[in-house]
């Protein structure tokens, strides 16, 4: 841990970016943020965060910049505006899940503006992000890691270093592998609930049968509970964002000649759920993709255990 106080610009204040900005402010750093839709960033003012009018305004005078936007093209466009306002040698912590095709372009942009590029996607959803307990998967030069330690320590409980050159995307590659498992497990939870409903099986009987064995999984229960209890908003990780990540994973697999049938199916289910109107809900809402149109009621809620 480090007690150094920095001025940090956070570009992108969606679910994760806003939470990371709050964690940075709570750690004593001066935080300047920008978001394309300013109204989504305004609540951060209550946390002592400065709301900037543009990416360059947010970046000017910063000791580090952190990007947490939707995808690679969004990061590239925003940083083309922000980079000229940053001093040479400024660390750029790139935490958006952008895929392996985009990471090289972002690294090249960093080199062109003499920024120190860190490929640093994170593992975790809204709750650990709000608590500053994310896992950071990071790649970047050893000699500059001390400069970004205050930022990574503020947003994460653990940093896993994967390489020296952020533009090679070793951290992003690991993130895609992890997300391939997360997305498939999420869709499996939705499908088992949908099949239970269709066959007239009480989901609690299913969970009783697998309880305590190798087939049991805390994550399965967590996502199933969100669906059964109707707690899909606010999202921890939205359907639309999960669909984007599934496409990135599928593209990476095809690039290296690997066929991932489950990931292709994950992308299709998530995109179908988004088209049904569930794009801003938690990715557990992919459950609804098992039904035509917007039909398919949520399965019976878990019984109230009582006092």
Rounded Cα gap, residues 101 and 113, in angstroms: 20
55: preceding bond cis by omega (within 30 degrees): no
Tokens matching residue 305: 């255990």
Rounded Cα gap, residues 307 and 288, in angstroms: 32
Tokens matching residue 304: 């109230």
What pLDDT does 75 receive?
Answer: 98
Bridge-based pairing of strands 134-139 and 122-123 is antiparallel
What pLDDT does 105 receive?
Answer: 97
The C-alpha angle 90, 166, 136, rounded to 5 degrees, equals 90
What pLDDT does 305 receive?
Answer: 53
Compute how many other C-beta atoms are within 10 angstroms of the C-beta atom of residue 203.
Answer: 19
Own/partner pairs, 104-107, CB within 8 angstroms, 24+ separation: 104/167, 104/169, 105/72, 105/76, 106/72, 106/75, 106/76, 106/79, 106/167, 107/165, 107/166, 107/167, 107/168
Q: Which residues have C-beta within 8 Å of that of residue 194, sequence separation ≥ 6?
A: 287, 290, 291, 296, 299
Residue-level pLDDT, tens digit, the chain, 307 residues: 457 899 999 999 999 999 999 999 999 999 999 999 999 999 999 999 999 999 999 999 999 999 999 999 999 999 999 999 999 999 999 999 999 999 999 999 999 999 999 999 999 999 999 999 999 999 999 999 999 999 999 999 999 999 999 999 999 999 999 999 999 999 999 999 999 999 999 999 999 999 999 999 999 999 999 999 999 999 999 999 999 999 999 999 999 999 999 999 999 999 999 999 999 999 999 999 999 865 567 776 766 555 4
Bridge-based pairing of strands 116-119 and 91-94 is parallel
Count how many Cα atoms sit within 13 Å of the Cα of residue 150 in the half-sphere of its side chain. 20
Rounded Cα gap, residues 46 and 299, in angstroms: 39
Rounded Cα gap, residues 165 and 14, in angstroms: 27
What pLDDT does 207 receive?
Answer: 97
Q: Which residues have C-beta within 8 Å of that of residue 216, sequence separation ≥ 6?
A: 210
* Inter-helix orientation angle 203-210/170-199, to 10°: 120
What pLDDT does 299 receive?
Answer: 76
Rounded Cα gap, residues 20 and 18, in angstroms: 5
């Amino acid at each position: 841990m480090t007690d150094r106080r920095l001025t940090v610009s956070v570009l992108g204040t969606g679910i994760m970016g806003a939470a990371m900005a709050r964690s940075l402010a709570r750690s004593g750093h001066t935080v300047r943020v920008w978001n394309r839709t300013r109204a989504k960033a305004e609540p951060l003012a209550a946390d002592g965060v400065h709301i900037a009018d543009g990416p360059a305004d947010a970046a000017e005078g910063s000791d580090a910049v952190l990007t947490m936007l939707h995808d690679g093209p969004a990061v590239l466009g925003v940083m083309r505006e922000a980079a000229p306002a940053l001093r040479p040698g400024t660390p750029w912590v790139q935490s958006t899940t952008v895929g392996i095709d985009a990471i090289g372009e972002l690294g090249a942009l960093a080199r062109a503006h003499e920024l120190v590029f860190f490929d640093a996607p994170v593992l975790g959803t809204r709750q650990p992000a709000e608590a500053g307990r994310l896992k950071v998967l990071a790649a970047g030069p050893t000699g500059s890691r001390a400069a970004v330690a205050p930022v990574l320590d503020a947003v994460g409980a653990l940093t896993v270093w994967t390489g020296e050159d952020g533009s090679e995307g070793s951290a992003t590659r690991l993130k895609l592998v992890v997300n391939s498992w997360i997305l498939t497990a999420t869709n499996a939870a939705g499908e088992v609930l949908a099949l239970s409903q269709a066959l007239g099986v009480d989901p609690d009987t299913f969970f009783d049968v697998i309880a305590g064995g190798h087939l049991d999984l805390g994550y399965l229960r967590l996502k199933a509970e969100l669906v059964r209890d109707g707690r899909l908003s606010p999202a921890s990780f939205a359907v639309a964002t999960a669909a984007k990540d599934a496409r990135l994973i599928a593209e990476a697999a095809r690039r290296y000649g690997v066929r991932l049938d489950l990931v292709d199916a994950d992308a299709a289910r998530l995109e179908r759920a988004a088209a049904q109107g569930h794009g801003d809900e938690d990715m557990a809402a992919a459950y609804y993709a098992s039904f035509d149109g917007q039909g398919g009621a949520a399965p019976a809620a878990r019984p109230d255990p009582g006092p």
